[in-house]
Structure 1
Amino acid sequence: MQNRISSFPPFIDQQSKILILGSIPGVKSLEKQQYYGHPQNKFWKIIFELFKEELTENYDDRINILKKHNIALWDVIDSCERKGSLDSEIKNEKANQIEELLEQHPNIKAIFCNGGKSYKNLHKILGKNFRIPMYLLPSTSPLHTISFERKFEDWKKILNY
């Protein structure tokens, strides 16, 4: 029997306009109890460069930058069984209550999925023609091996909101 892992609570407030959804935290993130806690994950580097902020290792400061730019974070999967950090190893998943979160936060104008797993799962949860635009962005994981420059170019879509 594999260990069951759980996602973190959503980071969101009434000013949030953009919701970024991952699949579920990887091993390093779970150890650190931080979103995108793996040092090789490019999430924080991309966010800080998008908004021309100075990158910091301090997690509270990172979260404050998201807040400053009206960005919410969560995962599409509430809990699952998984060995390691690969999305392909996810088994027996239970979905997060995305629809309820969006009802409580009508200020969200767009949803951006960090990688294919979260995008595919989100479509299962909300359907393809949901009232809020949903975008697939390349995963910021070090396991997704396209160049940083290509990832960054795609992630610029966030700036439209």
Structure 2
Amino acid sequence: MTSPTLHSFPPLVATGARILILGNMPGVVSLRADRYYAHPRNAFWRITGALFGFDADAPYDERVAALTEAGVALWDVLKSCRRAGSLDAAVEPNSMVPNDFDAFFAAHPTIAHVCFNGTAAERNYRRLVETRAAMRYSRLPSTSPAHTASFESKAAAWRDALID
């Protein structure tokens, strides 16, 4: 049986963004909610709220505005793929279609740092997208509850990579 084809969200980005955080593909809870990092145990909003000074429990639109006003864009490596469930390991490799990063970077030339939210995002970006020499890249520990490192260790790694 073929897994369903999933489609990611458009990027969240404001003029002048300097950092792009890339996930691999939104999980089931996020896709149903039509919101990035909607799973209540995902640490993304807690970590970015702490780093950029906004309330991680604020309404979604306020969190998005605070993140983008801080110069951070948010997107996923994959535009579409087939996957059963939410795990990156369940993505069918031959189904992966990357987002159009050439057009994205042309429209947002101020982005100089790409951060991968987990190993799968980095692996698939490097496999499917042409790496840009002038860009800085950082792999961060996944904020997913499936990645069992402590919140404190995840937050420290994110702080080290994102806060100059």
Give TM-score, length-normalised by structure 2: 0.93
What pairs with 1:44-63 in structure 2 (closer than 5 Å)? 44-63=45-64
TM-aligned CA deviation for residue 57 of structure 1: 4.0
- Number of residue equivalences: 159
Unaligned 5+ segments in structure 1 are none
Q: Where do 5+ consecutive residues of structure 2 fail to align? A: none
1:99 Cα deviation from its structure 2 partner: 2.5
Deviation, 1:12, is: 1.2
* Aligned residues: CA RMSD: 1.1
Q: Which residue of 1 aligns with 2:34?
A: 33
Residue of 152, 159, 162 corresponding to 1:158? 162
Name the aligned partner's letter for residue 7 of structure 1: S
Residue among 98, 101, 112 paired with 2:101: 98
Hey, what's the Cα distance between the residues in 2 that align with 1:89 and 1:130?
Answer: 31
Q: Using the TM superposition, give the Cα deviation of residue 56 of structure 1 relative to its aligned residue in structure 2, in angstroms.
A: 2.1
SS in 2 for 1:88: helix
TM-score, length-scaled by structure 1: 0.94
Other-structure match for 1:69:
70
Percent identity over the alignment is: 38
- Which piece of structure 1 moves more, 94-103 or 24-33? 94-103
Partner amino acid, structure 1, of 2:38? G
Tell me what 1:110 maps to.
113
Determine the C-alpha separation between the residues in 2 that align with 1:95 and 1:75.
8
- How far does the alpha carbon of each residue in 1:102-147 deviate from its partner, in whole angstroms, 9 at most, with x for none? 12110102000000011112222123x6321111000000000001
